[in-house]
Amino acid sequence: MYDELVAHLFPGDGDEHGAVIHAGLLETRDGPVLTARDLILAVEGRDWVPGTRGYRKLLAPFISKQVRRCRDERLVYLAVHNHLGTDRVAFSDVDIESHERGFPALLDLIDGMPVGSLVFAQNAVAGDIWLPGKSRLHIDRMVVVGSCRTELRPAPSPLEKPFDLRFDRQVRVFGASGQAILARSKVAIIGLGGVGSILAELLGRLGVGSFVLVDPDRVQPSNLPRLVHATGWDAMTWLVAPGRPEWMRRLGTSLSTRKIDLVRRVISRANRKATIDRHFTSMEEKAVVEALKTCDYVFLAADGHRARRLFNAVVHQYLIPGVQLGTRIQTNDETGTVVNIHTSARLVTPGCGCLLCNQAISQQRLRDESMSGQMRQAQRYVDGDDASAPSVITLNALSASQAANDFLFYMTGLTRAEAFQGNVQQHPLDRRVKFVMPRKDASCADCGNEKQSRLSRGDGASLPLVD
């Protein structure tokens, strides 16, 4: 959408051009966020004409049609035009006067939703947003979610503070500005088992500044070989050992370390400046969703299909990119022989084909997990309902490192335009890598283009499975 808008606004003629964006509205702890859903380009000479007070204007019938559509679909109306310039932009006095004349009437017409205007330069954007009641906000920044993250502001940010010399070797890869981006970034990790705990340490050592950690479980003795920095004290192995009285084993289980606390310790040792928001619960809680709204990226390292369903909705409804990752080990039911191993790092981003489109969410598993709390919390790495879940830290590290690199390159702008944007599967038994191109269904309920999809609707659509 952004590429299409830039091509329309800056075709090389040095003139001004117009458009309209329909956007969802998302209320977060950090303030309101607008999520661009539809782009309507104003046709030169029909919708975009010489102005009577200013240089150019959108015609009233075009504006009225777009505002009515926003009213009917509970979306935010944003008028768009461009000015000349490169890295800074602001509304002219004539622009502000036109807002003050026209926006009060548009607020009445749109019935309870905000209206506003954006003005672009080549690498900058400014915004004037009018809320019901006629209070006003200005756009702080605009984030373009693509293969690489692009951030535009009204003017260049102040010079970054010198980076911590501990990061000197990685700054040589993506620069001090890249390190500053990581320090400002906020990520969520859903599921802190064998994959999630490794991922947390990698991100902590990269210098990511803020974390949301979500997991309802405590450390068990069988977790120790695969959880980073876990010890026998975390699992209370001396209390829960076989042969201990039942009351003692229950006590040991209740005293064992929560995985969110273990991973907090891991991150803090790697990066003492990181801020960490912990949730000792499953993903399907309102408090978790509110925390996710403020994130730049979401890692799904829990393999439950309820978590997949909600994760998929969050990515597309709130325009927060993410990755679904894990390890699958298949065994022969009769002999127990391992027949296949693959690790997966599946990018899930708006516009690239979602988990629903690619049949990665099983309706049967959703029903099963809804009937049993124990099944909802279980992380399954092996086919079969009653099989133990084999897990090896070296296999978990494959998907964790792929996901961490994908995030790093996305945030710092290193991802190449031609880079593969799908599911990277590693098959260590065969020493091969498989690239699975995602499918996209235009009628998909989450990522589709049709009127009923949740894509970019912000708080305008309800999330599935939230308790």
User: Are 268 and 348 within one domain?
Assistant: yes
Residue 443 is assigned to a structural domain of this protein = no
User: Are 200 and 339 within one domain?
Assistant: yes
Q: What average pLDDT does this structure show over 417-439?
A: 93
Residue 249 is assigned to a structural domain of this protein = no
| End residue of a domain, out of 103, 124, 152 | 152
User: Are 177 and 113 within one domain?
Assistant: no
Q: What is the pLDDT of residue 374?
A: 55
Phi and psi for 389 in degrees, rounded to 5?
-105, 95
Q: Mind listing the pLDDT tens digit for each residue in 152-166? A: 999 998 877 777 888
Residue 467 is assigned to a structural domain of this protein = no
Q: What is the pLDDT of residue 383?
A: 40
User: Are 20 and 103 within one domain?
Assistant: yes
Q: What average pLDDT does this structure show over 84-111?
A: 94
**What percent of the chain stands above pLDDT 90?**
82
How many distinct structural domains can be found in the chain? 2
Whether residue 113 is predicted with pLDDT greater than 50 in this model: the reply is yes
**Which of 165-174, 297-306, 338-347, 378-387 bottoms out in mean pLDDT, i.e. has the lowest?**
378-387
Q: Mind listing the pLDDT tens digit for each residue in 188-233? A: 999 999 999 999 999 999 999 999 999 999 999 999 999 999 999 9
Q: What is the pLDDT of residue 378?
A: 54
Q: What is the pLDDT of residue 305?
A: 93
User: Are 282 and 185 within one domain?
Assistant: yes
Residue 188 is assigned to a structural domain of this protein = yes
User: Are 279 and 417 within one domain?
Assistant: yes
CATH number at residue 392: 3.40.50.720
Amino acid letter, 159:
L
Q: What is the pLDDT of residue 387?
A: 39
Q: What average pLDDT does this structure show over 332-340?
A: 86
Residue range(s) defining the domain that contains residue 49: 2-152
User: Are 141 and 169 within one domain?
Assistant: no
Whether residue 181 is predicted with pLDDT greater than 80 in this model: the reply is yes
Q: Mind listing the pLDDT tens digit for each residue in 355-385? A: 999 999 998 988 888 875 555 455 444 443 3
User: Are 346 and 385 within one domain?
Assistant: yes
**Which of 77-86, 114-123, 236-245, 370-379 bottoms out in mean pLDDT, i.e. has the lowest?**
370-379
| End residue of a domain, out of 101, 124, 152 | 152
| End residue of a domain, out of 152, 177, 204 | 152
